[in-house]
Amino acid sequence: MLKGSYFLWNNDRDAGYTENELMSDTPSSWPRRWIALLLTGLLSGASGMLIALLLHEIQHLVFGYSQQSLIGGAPFLQGVTDASNLRRFAALTGAGVIAGCGWWLLARYGKPRVSVTAALGEKGCQMPASTTICHALLQVVTVAMGSPLGRESAPREVGALFGGSIARRSGLNEQETRLVIACGAGAGLAAVYNVPLAGAIFTLEVLLVTIAWDAVIAATVSSALAAFVASLVLGNERQYQFIAPPAPVSLIVWAALSGPLFGYAACQFRRMTRHARGQAKSNWQMPLFCILAFACLGLFSIWFPQLPGNGRGPVQLSFGGGVTLPLAAMLIGLKVVSIWMVLRSGAEGGLLTPGLAIGALLGALMFLLVGPFFPGGSMAEFALTGGAAFLASSMQMPLTAIVLLMEFTGMDFSFFIPLTLCVAGAYMTCRYVE
């Protein structure tokens, strides 16, 4: 549904902002607005870069691999696989201690946390600096030590914190401040994953729910600037290696048929994660539950080293065709159980890469079951469409998911049609079921 120039398809928000609401027409505010946006992009890029470096340093220290190089070297999955069983268990149990004690102490003694969504709400709550930074650091440390949640929430929160602080110090009005906060969150995502276009689309589709030209330009510039700053140190490599010939016609048929399946699965995943987070308690039980949840994950990792971490390893395995039928089925089940346990215990983190991993593994599983009926297809292609569809539905961001996979993999343009068909079917099914 279209209202003026705004998409209102996102059921998590009631309406988008109008162009006059987003941007003041006062000429004197124009320079201050753009100075705030540029500073937000620079700081979001720098913070995203530092978060990525900290994450890599902790990963290398905890699992004992690639000690001489923070950038490059062996991938995380290889480091975990080469680590001893005792080291994996100790690392995950240690992550549980840090998660449980850290978030319990933060809830008990810190200021109440304000999420990015709350900061963008009508009340315009201000994000407390100390609580937000501690919350982000806890996510980075626990994900680096093997938490099954994603790392993208931390740079988004820090970017939004910088954006809000800069906007208020610049004397911008309430609506302009919201725009800068949203651009800071999107820029943080762009920086940590090197996805400038997806960061801008995320800002517009998920946070602001608008396609007003001023907002489009602001989001694009801030995300591109943040990604560029981060790439000066992190490099310009893609997140995943995806090598496949142009998409066959059979993949288009598969994408159209499988979309509803991924959408229904994503809907159940959304219900599970919402319920788990709703059941988490910020009391004395949190340290105990976190230790138990992460210790169980440590036990699972003895037999399945692909489980620790946000899911990047299983995604790459699926894209490389290195998944067997029993392995795919076990990883899907254990990944879902691990995410539920960790969220139920009170730990925090994103669901972007975990959702992509579950979808890619589901796609790989489907290829192993029905692939012979779709000649010309490969596991990588099934995993690509499944990952995009599950991610789009589980996080309610269809355009962002498509652009993310394009920037993550550098896929051939021929995959755009099957990817779009699969995402559309999955997203509509998820909305219908919900």
In a domain, 173, yes or no: yes
Rounded to 5°, the CA angle 120-124-128 comes to 95
Per the CB < 8 A criterion, the answer to whether 96 and 275 are in contact is: no
Domain co-membership, 24 together with 154: yes
In a domain, 243, yes or no: no
Domain co-membership, 278 together with 183: no
In a domain, 97, yes or no: yes
pLDDT at 122 (0 to 100):
75
pLDDT at 3 (0 to 100):
34
Along the 434 residues of the chain, how does pLDDT read in single tens digits? 333 333 333 444 444 555 455 554 454 477 889 999 999 999 999 999 999 999 999 999 999 988 777 777 788 999 999 999 999 999 999 999 999 999 999 999 999 999 999 999 877 789 999 999 999 999 999 999 999 999 999 999 999 999 999 999 998 999 999 999 999 999 999 999 999 999 999 999 999 999 999 999 999 999 999 999 999 999 888 899 998 889 999 999 999 999 999 999 999 999 999 999 999 887 778 999 999 999 999 999 999 999 999 999 999 999 999 999 999 999 999 999 999 999 999 999 999 999 999 999 999 999 999 999 999 889 999 999 999 999 999 999 999 999 999 999 999 999 999 999 999 999 999 999 98
Domain co-membership, 161 together with 130: yes
Domain co-membership, 255 together with 197: no
**Domain count of the fold of the chain:** 2
Domain co-membership, 361 together with 321: yes
In a domain, 240, yes or no: no
Tokens of 27: 């000429």
pLDDT at 280 (0 to 100):
86
Domain co-membership, 390 together with 256: yes
In a domain, 241, yes or no: no
Domain co-membership, 220 together with 302: no
Domain co-membership, 263 together with 164: no
In a domain, 416, yes or no: yes
Domain co-membership, 50 together with 147: yes
Q: Where does a domain end: 234, 261, 292?
A: 234
Torsion of CA 59, 394, 403, 183, to 10 degrees: -80
Q: How far is CA 363 from the centre of its chain?
A: 19
Q: Which domain CATH number covers 407? A: 1.10.3080.10
Rounded to 5°, the CA angle 303-307-94 comes to 90
In a domain, 239, yes or no: no
The residue range of the domain holding 66 is 2-234
Q: Where does a domain end: 234, 266, 296?
A: 234
Per the CB < 8 A criterion, the answer to whether 356 and 239 are in contact is: no
Domain co-membership, 147 together with 228: yes
In a domain, 77, yes or no: yes
Structure-token match 């699926």, residue found: 318
pLDDT at 181 (0 to 100):
96
pTM higher than 0.75 = yes
* Side-chain half-sphere CA neighbours of 298 within 13 A: 24
Q: Where does a domain end: 234, 258, 289?
A: 234
Phi first, then psi: what are they for 256, rounded to 5°?
-65, -35
What size, in residues, is the chain? 434
Domain co-membership, 227 together with 253: no
pLDDT at 26 (0 to 100):
52
| CA 280/CA 289 separation, integer angstroms | 9
Domain co-membership, 228 together with 266: no
